[in-house]
């Protein structure tokens, strides 16, 4: 083993973070205040804040929120001023650069932002462009950086688009700026709808636009050019929505249920988090946010297992004459206990029973999935708990595959949009028989799963 490898092993053993540390952030009063608030939320869910695996959650949540809202501390002027370059041939107010129209666009910029209505992250795909004027252009990377400043604040889609557009127009002084955002917000889970709809969609989709200068008129030739360049690369954008249609219809917290302040202490804790991020909880858009976030969390409080097994069993299974049964694409919702961020997806369950025996009813398997899903979880534990419970019913032979989308993979860590994680748990014969495992994996629907990381 070389010197570099030894150094790496020492860092792993000592728990040293590669590439720097966050000690300055950890000691700041805002971080400590958010940690204290998160402890109140965890206790309100019935959790032991000293439990291994969760005792560092308050700090992780605090760091995630502060890093995810760092845009409050950034200034667009500082980004744009040093990135304006002279370009001969540009005409004031016309913007013909490199040919007729002079349009410059950057497509498919991926961001996440925190929804100001419920404090959950949402995904943003941003397309931004401008028509230069005044014999100057801006460095292309700065379009992304300006958009990122406003994305990393508490937002709603239309205001985000308007702020990006306005900031670029004031900073570049072009003939016009155009912004289109395609946004995805996670649904609020509804137990009944998830139970009865295995194809329950995980995201609410909306797109918004904003324009200045030559883009103020939605029917202008400038917009036609902009949309044409998007379609050229396969970006499908629907008709411009009306701004009135965005009012309170974007965040599912408004339609999920009546606002209930079930735990005043938890509501006060979320208000404290907002203040620590530099926001005013009394701002009209944020008044209901603490209740919305608490209502979301209460979906995942510790509950008792409520399912009617009615003494169901497959009987003692022998390895001879066994038949494989399966339940595929069972929807689930859960909440990552490391960052208090949601993850959701589907569960595939396979098990062996003697030929002719009664298989487990689908509703029973779905109840098991819901029970272990609707609580603070990690995906590996979720897979194991489902497998062990099914195994206890069937006599010992079970295999579970969980495929999930993690919000923390978007807003933390790799910040990879569309990434999907699969975990596998096996018991009994599935743990020793590769052919049985392969047989079950072969019957799982073959859908597009690029970028899946498999954990076993």
Residue 277 domain-assigned (yes or no): no
pLDDT of residue 239: 55
**Where do we find the tokens 């202008």?**
220
Contact between 353 and 322 (Cβ < 8 Å): yes
At residue 218 the predicted structure's pLDDT band, cuts being 50, 70 and 90, is confident
Q: Are residues 220 and 342 in the same domain?
A: no
**Where do we find the tokens 């069972």?**
330
Whether the predicted pLDDT of 229 surpasses 70: yes
pLDDT top residue among 83 and 49: 49
Q: Are residues 235 and 118 in the same domain?
A: yes
Q: Are residues 440 and 355 in the same domain?
A: yes
DSSP 176: E
β-bridge pairing 420-427 and 398-406: antiparallel
Residue 314 domain-assigned (yes or no): no
Give the span between the Cα atoms of 123 and 439, in whole angstroms: 36
pLDDT of residue 417: 64
Residue that finishes a domain, picked among 240, 256, 272? 256
The per-residue pLDDT for range 56-81, each reduced to its tens digit, is 999 999 999 998 999 998 888 888 77
pLDDT of residue 287: 93
Closest CA to 344 of 179, 125, 120: 120
Residue 361 domain-assigned (yes or no): yes
How many structural domains does the chain have? 2
- What number is the average pLDDT over the span 301-317? 53
Give the span between the Cα atoms of 67 and 111, in whole angstroms: 13
pLDDT of residue 262: 65
Residue that finishes a domain, picked among 235, 256, 277? 256
Whether the predicted pLDDT of 377 surpasses 90: yes
Which tokens go with 108? 């498919």
The per-residue pLDDT for range 381-435, each reduced to its tens digit, is 999 999 999 999 888 899 999 999 888 776 664 556 667 899 999 999 999 999 9
**Where do we find the tokens 């965005």?**
246
Residue 445's domain comprises: 322-455
Residues in the chain: 456
Q: Are residues 246 and 339 in the same domain?
A: no
DSSP 188: P
pLDDT of residue 453: 38
At residue 24 the predicted structure's pLDDT band, cuts being 50, 70 and 90, is low
pLDDT of residue 249: 65
Residue 11 domain-assigned (yes or no): no
- From residue 353, give the alpha-carbon distance in Å to each of 320, 358, 388: 10, 8, 15
Residue 278 domain-assigned (yes or no): no
Whether the predicted pLDDT of 210 surpasses 80: yes
Q: Are residues 215 and 341 in the same domain?
A: no
The DSSP bridge partners found for residue 453 are: 421
Contact between 315 and 299 (Cβ < 8 Å): no
Residue 19 domain-assigned (yes or no): no
Residue 346 domain-assigned (yes or no): yes
- From residue 91, give the alpha-carbon distance in Å to each of 95, 99, 100: 5, 12, 12
Residue that finishes a domain, picked among 256, 284, 299? 256
The per-residue pLDDT for range 352-369, each reduced to its tens digit, is 987 777 888 999 999 999
Q: Are residues 89 and 235 in the same domain?
A: yes
pLDDT of residue 313: 52
Q: Are residues 238 and 348 in the same domain?
A: no
Residue 49 domain-assigned (yes or no): no
Q: Are residues 226 and 141 in the same domain?
A: yes
pLDDT of residue 243: 58
CATH for 347: 3.30.1130.10
Q: Are residues 231 and 327 in the same domain?
A: no
Whether the predicted pLDDT of 144 surpasses 70: yes
Contact between 376 and 337 (Cβ < 8 Å): yes
At residue 199 the predicted structure's pLDDT band, cuts being 50, 70 and 90, is very low
DSSP string, 41-96: HHHHTT--TTSTTTTTHHHHHHHHHHHHTGGGG--HHHHHGGGEEE-TT--TTT--
pLDDT of residue 395: 81
pLDDT of residue 54: 93
The 452-455 sheet, strands edge to edge = 376-377, 322-336, 341-354, 398-406, 420-427, 452-455
- What number is the average pLDDT over the span 268-295? 94
β-bridge pairing 376-377 and 452-455: unpaired
Whether the predicted pLDDT of 456 surpasses 80: no
The per-residue pLDDT for range 148-184, each reduced to its tens digit, is 999 999 999 999 999 999 999 988 888 999 999 999 8
Whether the predicted pLDDT of 321 surpasses 50: yes
Q: Are residues 99 and 188 in the same domain?
A: yes
Q: Are residues 330 and 216 in the same domain?
A: no
- What number is the average pLDDT over the span 140-148? 90
């Amino acid at each position: 083993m070389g010197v570099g490898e030894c150094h790496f092993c020492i860092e792993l053993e000592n728990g040293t973070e590669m590439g720097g540390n966050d000690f300055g952030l950890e000691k700041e009063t805002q971080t400590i205040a958010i940690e204290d608030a998160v402890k109140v939320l965890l206790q309100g869910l019935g959790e032991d804040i000293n439990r291994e695996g969760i005792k560092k959650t308050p700090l992780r949540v605090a760091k995630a929120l502060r890093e995810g809202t760092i845009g409050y501390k950034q200034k667009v002027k500082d980004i744009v001023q040093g990135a304006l370059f002279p370009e001969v041939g540009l005409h004031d107010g016309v913007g013909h650069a490199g040919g007729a129209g002079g349009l410059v666009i950057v497509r498919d910029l991926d961001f996440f932002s925190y929804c100001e209505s419920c404090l959950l992250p949402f995904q943003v795909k941003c397309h931004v462009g401008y028509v230069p004027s005044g014999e100057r252009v801006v460095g292309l990377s700065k379009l992304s950086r300006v958009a990122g400043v406003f994305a990393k604040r508490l937002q709603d889609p239309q205001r985000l688009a308007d702020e990006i557009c306005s900031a670029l127009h004031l900073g570049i002084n072009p003939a016009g700026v155009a912004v289109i955002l395609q946004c995805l917000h996670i649904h609020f889970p509804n137990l009944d709808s998830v139970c009865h709809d295995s194809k329950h969609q995980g995201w609410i989709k909306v797109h918004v636009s904003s324009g200045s200068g030559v883009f103020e008129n939605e029917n202008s030739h400038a917009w036609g050019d902009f949309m044409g360049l998007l379609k050229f690369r396969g970006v499908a954008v629907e008709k411009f929505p009306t701004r009135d249609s965005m009012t309170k219809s974007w965040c599912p917290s408004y339609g999920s249920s009546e606002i209930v302040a079930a735990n005043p202490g938890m509501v006060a804790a979320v208000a404290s988090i907002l203040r620590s991020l530099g926001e005013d909880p009394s701002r009209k858009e944020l008044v209901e946010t603490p209740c919305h976030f608490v209502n979301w969390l209460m979906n995942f409080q510790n509950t008792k297992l409520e399912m009617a097994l009615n003494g169901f069993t497959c009987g003692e299974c022998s390895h001879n004459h066994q038949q494989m049964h399966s339940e595929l694409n069972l929807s689930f919702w859960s909440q990552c206990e490391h960052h208090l961020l949601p993850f959701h997806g589907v569960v595939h369950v396979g098990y062996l029973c003697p030929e002719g025996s009664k298989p487990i009813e689908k509703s029973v398997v779905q109840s098991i999935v819901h029970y272990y899903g609707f609580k603070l979880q990690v995906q590996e534990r979720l897979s194991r708990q489902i497998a062990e419970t099914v195994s206890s019913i069937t006599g010992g032979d079970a295999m579970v595959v969980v495929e999930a989308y993690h919000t923390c993979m978007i807003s933390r860590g790799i910040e990879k949009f569309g990434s999907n994680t699969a975990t596998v748990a096996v018991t009994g014969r599935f743990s020793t028989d590769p052919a049985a495992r392969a047989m079950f994996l072969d019957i799982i629907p073959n859908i597009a799963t690029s970028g899946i990381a498999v954990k076993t």
